[in-house]
Amino acid sequence: MPFLDVNQSLCAITMHILGNLFCDLSEFFYFCSMRVLIVNTSERTGGAAVAANRLMEALNNNGVKAKMLVRDKETESLTVVGLNKGWLSQWHFLRERLSIFSRLHFSKKHLFEIDIANSGFDITGLREFREADIIHLSWINQGMLSLAGIRKILDSGKPVVWTMHDAWPATAICHYPRGCKAFMTTCRYCSMLPGHGGKTDLAYRVWSRKKQMFGRHHISFVACSRWLEQQAKQSALISQHSITNIPNPIDTRVFRPADKQEARQRLGLPLDKKLILFVSQRVTDRRKGMDFLIDSIDELVKAQPDASEHIGVAILGGHAEDFKDQLSLPAYPLGYVSDEKKIVDVYNAVDVFVLPSLEDNLPNTIMEAMACGIPCVGFKTGGIPEEIDHRKNGYVAEYRNVLDLAQGIRWVLEEADYASLSAQAVKKVTTYYSQNSVSLRYIEVYNHAMAYKHYSI
């Protein structure tokens, strides 16, 4: 009966193909209906909030039903849900800050470099939480979620993905270890605390609570840079969890090259100078390296005494005015700007963006500047060398080397093929940081998180 055997074989093959096709289609339609709740402290303020918003938009554009849950809702967006508890939000924030303030012996030093998550909201009873298939934690500090609140989320049984915008999930209390290796074994006697913690070691107590909590549940961690991924994989707190890296997305339809002269006219910036840009949410944040920019510009002026005639510095961020008289080049403080169109104008108005951060993950600001075709200069630290390809789309200076930083600025402004740098900057962003490519990588992470939760039941 050879004819029957062939038919049976063809039938089996056809059923196998149809079965696989059905599974693929089922998976496709499942993910098109997947509901993701992204949890972040703020809707708009800060780099993590910007990144979370962009990811939400990217996911929704790729078939995933994504919403944000925030403590501080700032717009009328229907896809953003605000807790907006008024005095209660302030209470959670103040309770934690006061606890830290007392531990710092009432000194403001390190006051916002430490989070202990001793106060925050329980979000597990919210309708948005119950409806979500995936809980995606973003930056949840300063009174948004407490350790107890995070534990309740994990105890709920829902798959949890956690984007690391800094190292806090992998340490006890700090956001950036600044060379400290304690998180690789056990955080205790933290150097940020007077007396290194004393008899009641705050860092160790928070570490112990995190370790107990993380040890009981699986979390899919996503670092925004390869640098932070490697840091996280060395953490004794979370190294047993799945850890990968996915960059923040950017909308290249918004952040894109535009006419420089027109942008300067709208901002009231000089039309006849080459402009250096520095950006930070708070220009006074020493981690962002304004002091190094000041010193590097001093070196630039030493080498070119007439530099002030044809070079200036634009400063974007809170407290920008504080530095106007500290620079040896004409300075143009723009203050804090939240309007996205104006921010795009700022990037397009300048010739080089300089961010001499001492420790950073994968700065949105570098990505935004590059998307507008602006070459960037920064130190060789954190995720910055992953964004800036040395002498291809910008310049990576040796860490804390003021002379090399000055050389990088000079090279971009006067020596390099500027048109090529600009084109390569745009190409880097569209290739690696587009909304589509980033959202697809996150969907893959959600897929694995759901599968892990399914098979572990």
pLDDT in tens, the chain (457 residues): 444 454 555 555 544 544 454 444 444 444 457 999 999 999 988 889 999 999 999 999 999 999 999 999 999 999 999 997 788 999 999 999 999 999 999 999 889 999 999 999 999 999 999 999 999 999 999 999 999 999 999 999 999 999 999 999 999 999 999 889 999 999 988 989 987 665 568 999 999 999 999 999 999 999 999 999 999 999 999 999 999 999 999 999 999 999 999 999 999 999 999 999 999 988 988 899 999 999 999 999 999 999 999 999 999 999 999 888 899 999 999 999 989 999 999 999 999 999 999 988 899 999 999 999 999 999 999 999 999 999 999 999 999 999 999 999 999 999 999 999 999 999 999 999 988 889 999 999 999 999 887 666 5
DSSP state of 304: -
Cross-sheet strand order for the sheet of 376-379: 331-335, 311-318, 274-282, 352-355, 376-379, 394-397
Pairing assessment for the beta strands 65-72 and 394-397 based on DSSP bridges = unpaired
Query: What's the CA gap between 214 and 217, in Å, rounded?
Result: 6
Predicted local confidence at residue 304, as pLDDT: 92
* Two tokens, residue 48: 């993590």
Neighbours of 220 (CB within 10 A): 22
> 166 with 94: CB under 8 angstroms?
no
Q: Which helix (H) or strand (E) is 189 found in, with range?
A: none
Q: Compute the chain's Rg from CA coordinates.
A: 24
Would you state the pLDDT for residue 196? Answer: 64
Spatial CB neighbours of 219, under 8 Å, sequence gap ≥ 6: 154, 160, 161, 162, 238, 241, 242
Closest alpha carbon to 96 in 121, 117, 66, 123: 117
Token pair belonging to 201: 């070691």
Nearest to 165 by CA among 141, 192, 134, 149: 141
Angle at 211 between CA 205 and CA 213, to 5 degrees: 105
The Cα 425–Cα 342 span in angstroms is 20
pTM attached to this predicted model: 0.83
